[in-house]
Structure 1
Amino acid sequence: MRLIMNNIGKLLSISAVLALSANVTYAEDLGAVSVFGSQDETQQAGSAHFIGDDEIKKWNYTDPERILSRIPGVYSQTEDGYGLRTNIGMRGVNPLRTSKINTMEDGVLQGPAQYSNFSMYFYPDTGRMEGVEVLKGPAAVGTGPKTTAGTVNWISRTVPTQGTKGHYSFTLGDDGFSRNHAYYGGQLSPSISYVFEVHDYRADGFKSIKGTSNPGDTGFDKTSDLFKIRYTPVGSKWNQYFELSSQNTEETSNETYIGLTTAAFHSDPFQRYGASAADQMDADYHRYIFTHYMEPSSTSRLTTKLYKTRFSRLWAKMGKVYVDPQGNGSGSVSSVSLSALDMQGACGADAGNELRACNIITGTTATAANEYLEMAMGHRDYGMTGIQFVYNKQMGNHDIEIGYRRHKDYRLREDSGFIRKYGLDSNNTLSFKSETGATDGAGELKDTDAESWHIKDIITHGNFTTTLGLRYEDTESNDGTEANPGNSKQDVNDDETMLSAATVYQIQGGAQIFAGYHQGYSPIGAGTSADATPEESDNYEVGLRMSSPDSFIELIAFYVDYENLLESCLIANGCTGNIGDSNNAGKAEIKGIEFQYRLADIFAAPAMKGQSTMKSIKYPLLVSGILQDSEYLTNTDDELNQLGKSIAYVPDFQMYVSLGAETPNWAVTLGAKYHDDTFTNASNTYKTGKAWIFDLHSSMNLPIRVGGVTQAVGFINIDNLLDKTIVASEHNYGKRPNKPQTFMAGGKFDF
């Protein structure tokens, strides 16, 4: 009740402020933040999809994996259930840590360090976004640096250039979930406009930690803010503007890599071992973008962006157990990594030190006086700085785009020697013992200086629209320490040129057929061993697209032929090597089909008998999915048993279906996503579960028109309606579940 009253209080306060201006007009221009260029999603020579502000607000999701569920060919690997550590893939690439696709916001690379360290331990706060674009195949050559799969570009709140616009929404739900989202924008003068946005969401978590006196919070707190201010010179013949954007995010999440043994998962999938009670991530992110947009002529435009990001995270997580072979509390102790334990077999394959360590982790044995659990303090600082130009010019039947980006990023480890020691008693209570601080200047420092060019020429000739593309990437990376930068590897150079070509043929009646080819590339991370080489592949696609005012059909067949597949060594995938390195996985191939069918109203025509009293109700239908077959074509020195196996974390099948009933005053939609069982290691011995997960969404307009409110909507949402539990993640740290049934309700108010 106290939380409800707090939200009502916030609503009334914001209402009072926003009521000072009651102008309802709103205009926006996405040209400078879009990666679609001059073509919308139905004109691209390849796969392109867009989700707008209305749809994002309709579903009320904060989890990017759920937002992107409807996009064909995009799949995810659930980890924490809330989307905090996002794992997104497409076109046969490994989704883990979203490291194989380009993630952007407003057309600028996002993430900790897209060249030096690919892993997305920070992902843009998608609950505050106004839209998202997804490009796959040849269409994504203009983004880079990774060109095998594609790009996800999130579009943040745009500045209103006419009138004002405000919004406030709140959500309350199970497991202490709450969400508050507010933004407001307008004009300070005819030439100066702005928007300010705050998004906060949090939960207590859906898991319980075993043991007495252990903390019970397994959830998170995450807060983001966005501020943009734009100057538009009045009367400028170049139709130009200058914009400064600032975005900040803070997060504390009580998440762990430690899963459950198979037996423990079947007993209670939502429990956590007491050994994981102190695991926690604290993260802090800051991003600044300066944009200049101009139209030097009626047929040309130039967008310039300068950007800077900083990200710091401290992920405290149990990594080793120091055990006394005799267990008598005296004598020397030996270290055992969690990755060495048989969590799948409930310690059955362990012996000696490993067996004792496994029993301690799973809570069946207490630590002796000289034994302890060692917590690795994963303290990392990241940064990105860059400048980019995109110039578009129409020349007859040619629409030419030329782009340049100079980008620098780094990853600094601040945790060399930084550990904490804990004991675990017979009640599974975790207790702090001691701490050793980090060694100054000893932290590993990786950095990359990258230059890239691209050119795209969209040629219209008869019923054909052909897109030719060229991209060039040139990187120089270093690996060393904070005290001695580059002392390990210095000025390691790599350059690559990628080609793409695609064509669309317009058929009468709104149909299109298209085909494309592009060269795939992914750079190696800074500091990776000298024998690792960048990822290279040949990619082909052919598709059919049919659209009408009330329906849309798209069917695309694709083939990815890896000359050299690149995979990352991460704790998240149970890797025991040098964490963060890129490893060559040899030759591989993926064959697949993406499909989507949208219908505005399944009963639109002809009308059903007896339906005359229900003409105001529409029944929209959406079906999308992917069928694919992946295979390693070679073994490697690190993986001797992967030949002929499925590529890790790449699902064979995924499908999404939604059916709604909508009127001007209320709406109900049932969405269902099929999660296929997916192997999570190269030898295909671990895999996730499979199931249909249903989400229910309902909303109704409310008759509230006070305090400047122009529209009010109440809603009730239920995630995982049938409360289906599956193994969402499994590797050698154990099994973890998906999010259980979650009931949420709230209100939305536009001003």
Structure 2
Amino acid sequence: MFKRSFLSLAIGSCLLPGMSAADEAVTMSPVEIIGDTSQARILPGSSAVVAEEQLEIEGTTDIHQVLKTVPGIYAREEDGEGLRPNIGIRGATAERSSNITLMEDGVPIAPAPYSNPAAYYFPTMMRITGVEILKGAPLLRYGPQTTGGVINLLSTPIPTERSGMVETVLDERGSTDVHAHYGDVAGPWSWMVETVQRNGDGFKDIDRSNGDSGFDIEDYVGKLRWQGERQALQLKLQYSEEISNETYLGLTDADFDRDPNRRYGLSSIDQMDNTHSGINLTHEFDWTDNVKSTATIYRNKFKRNWFKLSGGGAYIDAANAGDANAQGILDGTVDVAGLSYKNNNREYVSEGIQLNFDIDLGAHQVSLGGRYHEDEMDRFQPVEIYDQVNGSLVFQNTVLPTGGDNRFETGEAMSFWALDQWQVTDRFKLNLALRYEDVETSRVQYADVGRTTVDSTRGNESDEWLPGASFTYDVADRWQVLAGVHRGFSPLGGGAQANEDPETSDNWEAGVRYFGDRVFAEAIGFYSDFTNKVENCSVGSPCSNGATSGTFTTGEAEIAGLEFQLSTDFDQGRFLIPVDLAYTYTSAEISKDNATSGLSEGDQLKDVPENMLSLRVGLEHPSGWNNYAVVKYIDEMCVVAGCNNSGSRFDETESLTVVDFISQYPLGRDTDVFLRVENLFDEQKIVSRLPDGARPNQPQTFSVGLRHRF
């Protein structure tokens, strides 16, 4: 009954009568969770905004590279292209970005945020105009993952007048990227259409194959908005396709040292094929001058089949240990029978409705709302058997799926939140937050292809109250202190057993900010205390115990660290030199011996580097000729928990320093030409060992582009 009432209220907010046009319509902006950089710097909690200007200048299509300029974020690369991101924030580790809340325009964008949150789908970065990162107690407004942080991607907005843009980029390997959008306004109506077309040749060479390691991506977005005197309604439609010749198979360390861009012939037929479609309808209504509601109905569907070699990591491990036969199989000089290539075929649906009221009570800015959400994952994964004969792959037969390869998982959740941002005095701002999550997940495995016989079932229910509080205090005109604490939560997913508890944590932060005339500086310490740190297991990101499905509870853990950022600029003749520095130190360890997991106090957690640093320096001229260098450093990190005590170099990645260079010049008022060099000094290291072997970052890449606005 309550769910029906909530849905009726939210739908009613989207269908209010009395819509009428007005010359001065309200501006619709429900997609932002922070605003611009200046707002991020005064929030009672740590946050950051990567603005459109930076995204446009650097032009990266890889979200990992974008986020490396933000403190407190851990990015583990995998394919060197950013197609399947692994992002962690503070206490939330990076495995397939499943421990953070990912949103696009304020809507959950993970394939199945509760039952299967692993980010096998990620929005095309070329059509993203801003990235908002929210940490600390204020993130309780969003969910379900509330431990480390929230990332909200802002899509291209509808223009306020007739306008458009076309950008074309070519790189030295023949890859092309095209981004175009156009929109117009007619009375109370406005609209926009947009597309991104990417054709990449990849940077890896596959043994004994004429195929490439590249990809083709098509992405289309359409938006339609109506604005009235007191309300606005916006419809957004999205559809994308991707075919990428990507594999889980990496390299042995010896082969990586000889050629990091090599790929074994065993992976020559591996390919990801996916489609994603999304629709959401958002309504804003100004009930009074002080009360506004925002309601959104959304549905996302993601279908993928990643056809790839299964179990290739066993050959990598054996070859690393000196097994000549395993190395011969990888090289194609030794025949082998019974190679399994699985159709990793899954269909996801994620849908829900969310309603929020913003209430201005003068000193109190109150936000009240809720969300009802359902998601599902349908897995049907036949396995094709091949033999390797004289270096070629020869098809043998197909094995139809049962058990774990033939299952259906669901998640259902009801969430509520209440926030009060209270301006207690001119100098003191207090933020109080409370979130409630009620989650049910289930899994059904089938013993036959026709799904007439159930092999096994499991399910899990959990509900959590998640309180938080934070504040800022202006100790002087230029100095501000901040601090906060909140309860973190991460749902277990569709593979959880009834007796398992979700990951919970207590998360603290405290810091200081300095606001100068041309300088901003911020230092924030953070600490997360986990009663039961949990890893989400998948083939793409196996857990520390080797499991590739379900979860692995590592036990009690503590993650602590320091985030520092500095932004300034100064004049040098006719040039302006902006400088942005970001640094993160993190200690992430098991805090108590755990006989069940086999981990001990002091064992390092996976996917968390100890040190990260980024430095961005510009040289801007009044003519519009601007140049930028971006330096990024990341420490080595564990690929399994406890790598610091294992004594094996195969349990960790390598540290990496990369320098990017960008030069941009205006050919006219509306046209820019630019040169970009990624990885200027061609430094390649082992940035990941998951899945199945050593994997490199992208090599030195030159690209040129032209952008025209009209």
Kindly indicate whether residue 403 of structure 2 is the aligned counterpart of residue 424 of structure 1: no
- Aligned identity (percent) is 32
- Per the alignment, do residues 344 and 63 of structure 1 end up closer, same or farther by CA in structure 2, a change over 3 Å counting? farther
Cα distance in 1 for residues equivalent to 2:361 and 2:114: 35
- Per the alignment, do residues 637 and 568 of structure 1 end up closer, same or farther by CA in structure 2, a change over 3 Å counting? farther
Partner of 1:175: 173
Partner of 1:338: 312
Cα distance in 2 for residues equivalent to 1:141 and 1:546: 26
Asked if the contact 1:642/1:682 (under 8 Å) is kept, the reply is no
- Per the alignment, do residues 101 and 29 of structure 1 end up closer, same or farther by CA in structure 2, a change over 3 Å counting? farther
Residue identity matched to 2:565: Q
Kindly indicate whether residue 656 of structure 2 is the aligned counterpart of residue 691 of structure 1: yes
Q: How does 1:496-507 map to 2 (within 5 A)?
A: 496-507=464-475
Residue identity matched to 2:664: S
- Cα deviation for residue 30 of structure 1 reads 6.2
Unaligned 5+ residue runs, structure 1? 1-25, 320-336, 605-610, 704-709
Asked if the contact 1:556/1:593 (under 8 Å) is kept, the reply is yes
Moved more, 128-137 or 572-581: 572-581
Partner of 1:332: none
Q: How does 1:548-627 map to 2 (within 5 A)?
A: 548-575=516-543, 579-601=548-570, 604=571, 614=573, 616-627=574-585
Deviations 1:345-379 (A, max 9, x none): 5342x5xxxx7556423434123xxx231101100
Asked if the contact 1:215/1:277 (under 8 Å) is kept, the reply is no
Residue identity matched to 2:188: S
Q: How does 1:167-246 map to 2 (within 5 A)?
A: 167-187=165-185, 189-211=186-208, 214-233=209-228, 236=229, 239-246=230-237
- Cα deviation for residue 529 of structure 1 reads 2.7
Partner of 1:33: 31
Cα distance in 2 for residues equivalent to 1:586 and 1:652: 20
- Cα deviation for residue 176 of structure 1 reads 2.5
Partner of 2:346: 380
- Cα deviation for residue 28 of structure 1 reads 9.8
Asked if the contact 1:28/1:158 (under 8 Å) is kept, the reply is no
Cα distance in 2 for residues equivalent to 1:733 and 1:701: 45
Partner of 1:46: 45
Partner of 2:670: 711
Asked if the contact 2:251/2:316 (under 8 Å) is kept, the reply is no
Residue identity matched to 2:104: E
Partner of 2:329: 360
Partner of 1:459: 422
- Cα deviation for residue 261 of structure 1 reads 1.1
Residue identity matched to 2:207: K
Aligned residues: 673
In structure 2, which of residues 471, 480, 486 is the aligned counterpart of residue 518 of structure 1?
486
Q: Secondary structure at the match of 1:679?
A: coil
Cα distance in 2 for residues equivalent to 1:146 and 1:674: 27
- Cα deviation for residue 151 of structure 1 reads 0.1
Cα distance in 2 for residues equivalent to 1:286 and 1:569: 26
Q: Secondary structure at the match of 1:618?
A: strand
- Cα deviation for residue 423 of structure 1 reads 2.4
Residue identity matched to 2:672: V
- Per the alignment, do residues 177 and 256 of structure 1 end up closer, same or farther by CA in structure 2, a change over 3 Å counting? same
Partner of 1:255: 246
Cα distance in 2 for residues equivalent to 1:491 and 1:517: 31
Partner of 2:412: 449
- Cα deviation for residue 397 of structure 1 reads 0.9
Cα distance in 1 for residues equivalent to 2:117 and 2:452: 23
Q: Secondary structure at the match of 2:141?
A: coil
After TM superposition, the score normalised by the length of structure 1 is 0.86
- Cα deviation for residue 420 of structure 1 reads 1.3
- Per the alignment, do residues 137 and 487 of structure 1 end up closer, same or farther by CA in structure 2, a change over 3 Å counting? farther
Task: Look at both structures and tell me which one has the larger radius of gyration over its CA atoms.
Answer: 1
Partner of 2:295: 304
- Per the alignment, do residues 380 and 436 of structure 1 end up closer, same or farther by CA in structure 2, a change over 3 Å counting? same
Q: Secondary structure at the match of 2:246?
A: coil
- Cα deviation for residue 341 of structure 1 reads 4.0
Partner of 1:74: 73
- Cα deviation for residue 177 of structure 1 reads 1.9
- Per the alignment, do residues 27 and 247 of structure 1 end up closer, same or farther by CA in structure 2, a change over 3 Å counting? farther
Asked if the contact 2:168/2:177 (under 8 Å) is kept, the reply is yes
Unaligned 5+ residue runs, structure 2? 1-23
Deviations 1:266-294 (A, max 9, x none): 11111111111111110100010000011
Asked if the contact 2:495/2:551 (under 8 Å) is kept, the reply is no
Cα distance in 1 for residues equivalent to 2:366 and 2:201: 51
After TM superposition, the score normalised by the length of structure 2 is 0.91
Asked if the contact 2:505/2:528 (under 8 Å) is kept, the reply is yes
- Per the alignment, do residues 125 and 264 of structure 1 end up closer, same or farther by CA in structure 2, a change over 3 Å counting? same
Partner of 1:328: none
Asked if the contact 1:662/1:668 (under 8 Å) is kept, the reply is yes
In structure 1, which of residues 401, 407, 411 is the aligned counterpart of residue 377 of structure 2?
411
Cα distance in 1 for residues equivalent to 2:254 and 2:348: 39
Cα distance in 2 for residues equivalent to 1:644 and 1:271: 36
